[in-house]
């Protein structure tokens, strides 16, 4: 049976590219979005053109009950996922002394809260069905090194690293790997407001990364070849703060 991978936030940006890369490798894809259903439907068509199956789940990853009900129903109807990519995330940048409550709460609840909300309904069925599958989380160079104006985002992404490492230890004996990809600055909507020229100067490779350069690593971590890699944080950052 074809292996299926669920990718949060796969309507655009890095998540979309991960979906297409994994589809090219022969995985069926469970797409996901919050608002942009039309964009997700376009990705669905692209996945189908590559000869793989795709369906779309739409919900807000901060809504714990919705996550549990939609994911549990999907697993009941279509079977347990082989892989999950926790990709969806947001940034709401501000320097800490004037950071608003909602800027802190929204970023923590979306980026870190979703680790619990999404994986809780997924892991137990994986264990029960003895699926030797794959979990990949998305952190950031900000979670590893910290970044001015991103105390909220850095905290959420550092939290993801801790959660990934701890879960990898719990699941290792079951053959489920849990790894984290930490991108540097990648060309997507998320970075549209940053001062590009200034930021490029501090990146050793003097350019931003592409979503495809992140997707290829996720694809490797999903593969059979990566079966003995777990609990790792792997950067894709053009040498930034390495
Ligand atoms: P984009 O802003 O391009 O896309 C974000 C995706 O997440 C969209 O599909 C969006 O859905 C979804 N999403 C956001 N909030 C929610 C929510 N509450 N519920 C459900 N879905 C949600 O982001 P990127 O592709 O740039 O980033 C992907 C991941 O990579 C993120 O975790 C980000 O933190 C991380 N990252 C990105 C870097 C970069 O430079 N771009 C650098 C380091 C890490 P919708 O379209 O429906 O809103």
CB of 189 closer than 6 angstroms to any ligand 1 atom: yes
Catalytic pick among 21, 81, 153, 241: 153
Return the residue whose CA atom lies nearest to atom 46 of ligand 1.
36
Distance CA 214, CA 14 (A): 7
Residue 241: what pLDDT?
85
Residue 224 DSSP label: G
Q: Is 191 exposed, middle or buried (0-12, 13-18, 19+ CB in 10 A)?
A: middle
CB of 206 closer than 6 angstroms to any ligand 1 atom: no
211 Cα nearest atom in ligand 1: 25
Query: Is 116 among the catalytic positions?
Result: no
Beta 83-86 vs 233-236: how paired, if at all?
unpaired
Residue 1: what pLDDT?
85
186 Cα nearest atom in ligand 1: 40
Mutational test site, ligand 1, from 20, 63, 88, max ligand atoms within 8 Å of CB:
88
14 Cα nearest atom in ligand 1: 25
| C-alpha dihedral, 147 to 12 to 213 to 151, nearest 10° | 10
Residue 171: what pLDDT?
98
Contact 240, 204 (CB under 8 A): yes
Return the residue whose CA atom lies nearest to atom 9 of ligand 1.
9
Coil, strand, or helix at residue 12?
coil
From first to last of the 242 residues of the chain, give the pLDDT tens digit.
899 999 999 999 999 999 999 999 999 999 999 999 999 999 999 999 999 999 999 999 999 999 999 999 999 999 999 999 999 999 999 999 999 999 999 999 999 999 999 999 999 999 999 999 999 999 999 999 999 999 999 999 999 999 999 999 999 999 999 999 999 999 999 999 999 999 999 999 999 999 999 999 999 999 999 999 999 999 999 999 87
């Amino acid at each position: 049976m074809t292996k299926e991978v669920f990718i949060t936030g796969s309507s655009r940006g890095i998540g979309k590219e991960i979906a297409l890369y994994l589809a090219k490798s022969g995985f069926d894809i469970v797409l996901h979005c919050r608002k942009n259903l039309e964009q997700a439907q376009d990705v669905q068509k692209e996945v189908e053109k590559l000869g793989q199956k795709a369906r779309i789940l739409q919900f807000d990853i901060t809504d714990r009950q919705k996550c549990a009900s939609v994911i549990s129903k999907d697993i009941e109807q279509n079977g347990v996922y082989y892989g999950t990519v926790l990709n969806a995330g947001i940034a709401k940048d501000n320097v800490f002394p004037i950071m608003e409550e909602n800027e802190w709460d929204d970023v923590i609840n979306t980026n870190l809260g979703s680790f619990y909300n999404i994986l809780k309904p997924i892991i137990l069925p994986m264990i029960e069905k003895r699926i030797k599958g794959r979990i990949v989380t998305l952190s950031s160079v900000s979670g590893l090194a910290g970044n001015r104006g991103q105390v909220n985002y850095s905290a959420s992404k550092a939290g993801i690293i801790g959660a990934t490492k701890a879960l990898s230890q719990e699941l290792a004996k079951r053959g489920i790997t849990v790894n984290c990809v930490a991108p540097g600055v990648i060309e997507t909507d998320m970075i549209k407001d940053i001062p590009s020229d200034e930021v490029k100067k501090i990146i050793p490779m003097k350019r931003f990364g592409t979503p495809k350069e992140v997707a290829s690593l996720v694809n490797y971590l999903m593969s059979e070849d990566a079966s003995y890699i777990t609990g790792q944080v792997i950067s894709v950052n053009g040498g930034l703060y390495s």
